[in-house]
């Protein structure tokens, strides 16, 4: 059962939300008549195809077909659910959300998560103040200056320093009433096994705060000064900090990733900071762990391409290969950026400058090319070396679609100094032995997805005309249903929209943004497009209705013709009635 208080809350937020103000907070728009136009934030374009119609409360992009109301826009921009978008907008408008009834365990769990985030936010401020306002931070400032990190970068990323002491943070926090138990649960302190009490986990380290996708501080990375090991130390695993599901910098980079259509993945926090400071805003970093399938899913929800830019040393190359394996099975275009001089991104930028790094990003090579180069780089001399290299390359070739595979068979043959036929024969044997089965997920990822059924564009235009007309005058639904029974509507998508609209209005509802919230995304996008498009006239509506009437009659004609033929073959005299119906339908079609 729906909560009336929550429905009233959503309606209040919707009524007070100005879609133009919301969108202009992200996208520069120019007014043309009753519409506003700008470049779409969801895909790259130079000519504006993104439109907002404030009077209707909808946006639509004619390039990538994203569309919806203000909450849909916020959810797409911030990668949150539509209801989270409503809550965020309510906070902006100062509208309190009704308290939901939860059981005691759920309330306790939510409070515990909030406590962990709260104490991490306090720790960020503590470490930052230690670096910037106390004598303890001198060593940290010296280290950062040596890496080219200035005061502006320190402030932008809230970098900090953990003093070289066992209990600076824990003493300060316990004086503020924060319990030892919470400090340990947050991963900021460790329990003393013998003497009791706690001690600080981070000591004599430069501190990098780590945020989740929503920008909430959930943990820290600490870079040791001197010879202390490990060189990098992360917060221990907590309910809010899971290295396999977090990417450093994603809270800052997600919009740029969507706009650029590609995510750049580097190995460490300092690499990510250096790349971002160089003006490349779509970079993230793993947290001292391997790139995982969870990481891939996080990025591929935002962009179809991933570029790995790891260190060029042996360890970096192995990490790159593991990362490529994690992306197998995902429909992604994957490339690898090989920096000249064998440097990591941070070092390369410090040596050659930001502009040089930005220019080299476009030189990233496809994943199969990188794997081929890696195999060639380790290939031993002689026949045994050729044989081992070919054996290593066969799984790579098996993963590829037919066209790409043919190209890489030629490349592999040239790189291994083998005849192309030898490589092709070896690949066929590998596939016959079942090698393709292991590589099948990646082969599917490399292949183009099955083509979606092409919808009749004339029918789609006509459908949008009907939707726009009905949106402004729901009484037209009866006229449409008389011309074309909604249960037999020729277009599935628009038939579903019209049937739902009819049921909604019959139940006393109005056709507005709230109605679209309950629809399939494709249906909601078509409604948005219909309301954003210009040129809706009475004549256009009549033409659209006639288009669907003709399509309905054509389907009816085929049905009665088939029935007449079946009855004639069975010797049933009723076939005469069917033929009369066929003639009647043909006459109406001719008259249209």
CB 324 within 8 A of CB 371: yes
CB 554 within 8 A of CB 588: no
- What tokens appear for 544 in the block? 């659209």
33 with 48, same domain: the answer is yes
List the end-to-end C-alpha distance of the chain, in Å, as a whole number.
48
Looking at the structure of the chain, the number of domains it has is: 5
CA–CA dist 32, 21 (Å, integer): 16
What are the φ and ψ backbone dihedral angles of 303, each rounded to 5 degrees? -155, 150
Report the CATH number that the domain containing residue 327 is assigned in CATH: 3.40.1360.10
Confidence of residue 78 (pLDDT cuts 50, 70, 90): confident
Cis upstream peptide for 230 (omega within 30°)? yes
Last residue of a domain, one of 38, 61, 93: 93
Whether 99 maps to a domain, the answer reads no
**The 58-61 sheet, strands edge to edge:** 30-32, 35-38, 50-53, 58-61, 67-68
CA–CA dist 268, 288 (Å, integer): 7
Q: What is the pLDDT of residue 102?
A: 64
CB 138 within 8 A of CB 262: no
461 with 568, same domain: the answer is yes
- What tokens appear for 545 in the block? 């209705």
Q: Which of 91, 112, 104, 105 is nearest to 16 (CA)?
A: 91
pTM: 0.67
577 with 471, same domain: the answer is yes
User: Among the ranges 5-9, 269-273, 555-559, which has the highest mean pLDDT value?
Assistant: 269-273
Q: For residue 14, give its domain range.
A: 4-93
CA–CA dist 151, 129 (Å, integer): 13
123: number of CA atoms within 13 Å, CB side? 37
Q: Which of 249, 251, 245 is nearest to 266 (CA)?
A: 249
67 with 145, same domain: the answer is no
CB 235 within 8 A of CB 219: yes
Please identify which residue in the block is written with the tokens 């259509």: 261
42 with 11, same domain: the answer is yes
pLDDT at 246 over 60: yes
Q: What mean pLDDT is predicted for residues 439-457?
A: 42
- In three-state secondary structure terms, 189 is strand
CA–CA dist 400, 394 (Å, integer): 10
Report the CATH number that the domain containing residue 148 is assigned in CATH: 3.90.980.10
Last residue of a domain, one of 397, 415, 446: 446
- What tokens appear for 169 in the block? 């943070």
Last residue of a domain, one of 398, 419, 446: 446
CA–CA dist 286, 310 (Å, integer): 10
157 with 211, same domain: the answer is yes
pLDDT in tens, 455-487: 467 888 999 999 999 999 999 999 999 999 999
- What tokens appear for 474 in the block? 């729901």
Give the whole-number percent of the chain exceeding pLDDT 70: 95
pLDDT in tens, 359-378: 888 899 999 999 999 999 99
Confidence of residue 113 (pLDDT cuts 50, 70, 90): very high
- In three-state secondary structure terms, 31 is strand
């Amino acid at each position: 059962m729906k909560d009336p208080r929550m429905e009233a809350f959503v309606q209040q937020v919707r009524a007070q939300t100005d879609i133009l103000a919301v969108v202009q907070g992200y996208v520069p728009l120019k007014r043309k008549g009753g519409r506003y136009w700008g470049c779409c934030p969801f895909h790259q374009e130079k000519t504006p195809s993104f439109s907002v119609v404030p009077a209707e409360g909808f946006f639509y992009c004619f390039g990538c077909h994203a569309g919806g109301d203000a909450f849909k826009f916020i959810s797409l921009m911030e990668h949150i659910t539509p209801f989270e978008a409503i809550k965020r907008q309510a906070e902006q408008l100062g509208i309190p959300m009704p308290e939901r009834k939860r059981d005691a365990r759920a309330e306790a769990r939510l409070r515990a998560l909030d406590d962990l985030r709260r104490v991490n936010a306090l720790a960020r401020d503590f470490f930052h103040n230690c670096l910037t306002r106390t004598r303890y931070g001198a060593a940290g400032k010296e280290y950062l200056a040596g890496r080219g990190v200035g005061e502006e970068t320190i402030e932008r990323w809230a970098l900090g320093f953990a003093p070289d002491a066992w209990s600076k943070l824990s003493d300060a926090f316990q004086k503020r009433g924060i319990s030892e138990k919470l400090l340990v649960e947050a991963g900021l302190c460790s329990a003393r096994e013998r003497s009791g009490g706690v001690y600080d986990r981070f000591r004599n380290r430069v501190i990098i705060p780590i945020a989740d996708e929503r920008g909430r501080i959930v943990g820290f990375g600490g870079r040791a000064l001197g010879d202390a090991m490990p060189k990098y130390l992360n917060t221990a695993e907590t309910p809010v900090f899971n290295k396999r599901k977090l990417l450093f910098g994603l809270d800052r980079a997600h919009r740029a990733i969507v706009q650029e259509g590609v995510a750049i993945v580097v190995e460490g926090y300092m690499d990510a900071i250096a790349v971002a400071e160089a003006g490349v805003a779509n970079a993230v970093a793993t947290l001292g762990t391997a790139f995982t399938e969870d990481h891939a899913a996080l990025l591929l929800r935002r962009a179809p391409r991933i570029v790995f830019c790891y260190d060029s040393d042996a360890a970096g190359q192995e990490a790159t290969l593991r990362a490529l394996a994690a992306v197998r099975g995902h429909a992604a275009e994957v490339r690898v950026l090989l920096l000249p001089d064998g440097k990591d991104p941070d070092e390369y930028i410090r040596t050659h400058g930001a502009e040089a790094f930005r220019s080299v990003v476009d030189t990233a090579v496809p994943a199969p090319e990188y794997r081929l180069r890696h195999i060639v780089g380790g290939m031993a001399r002689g026949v045994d070396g050729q044989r081992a290299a070919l054996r290593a390359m066969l799984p790579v070739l098996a993963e590829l679609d037919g066209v790409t595979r043919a190209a890489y068979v030629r490349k592999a043959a040239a790189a291994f100094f083998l005849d192309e036929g030898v490589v092709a024969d070896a690949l066929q044997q590998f596939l016959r032995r079942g090698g393709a089965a292991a590589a099948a997920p990646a082969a599917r990822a490399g292949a183009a997805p099955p083509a979606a059924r092409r919808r009749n564009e004339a029918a789609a235009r006509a459908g949008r005309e009907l939707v726009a007309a009905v949106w402004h005058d729901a009484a037209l639904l009866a006229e449409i249903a008389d011309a074309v029974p909604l249960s037999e509507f020729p277009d599935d998508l628009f038939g579903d929209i019209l049937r739902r609209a009819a049921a909604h209005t019959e139940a006393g509802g109005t056709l507005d943004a709230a109605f679209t919230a309950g629809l399939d995304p494709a249906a909601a996008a078509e409604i948005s497009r219909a309301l954003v498009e210009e040129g809706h006239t009475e004549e256009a509506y009549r033409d659209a209705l006639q288009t669907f009437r003709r399509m309905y009659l054509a389907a009816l004609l085929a049905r009665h013709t088939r029935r007449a033929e079946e009855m004639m073959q069975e010797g049933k005299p009723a076939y005469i009635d069917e033929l009369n119906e066929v003639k009647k339908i043909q006459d109406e079609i001719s008259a249209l």
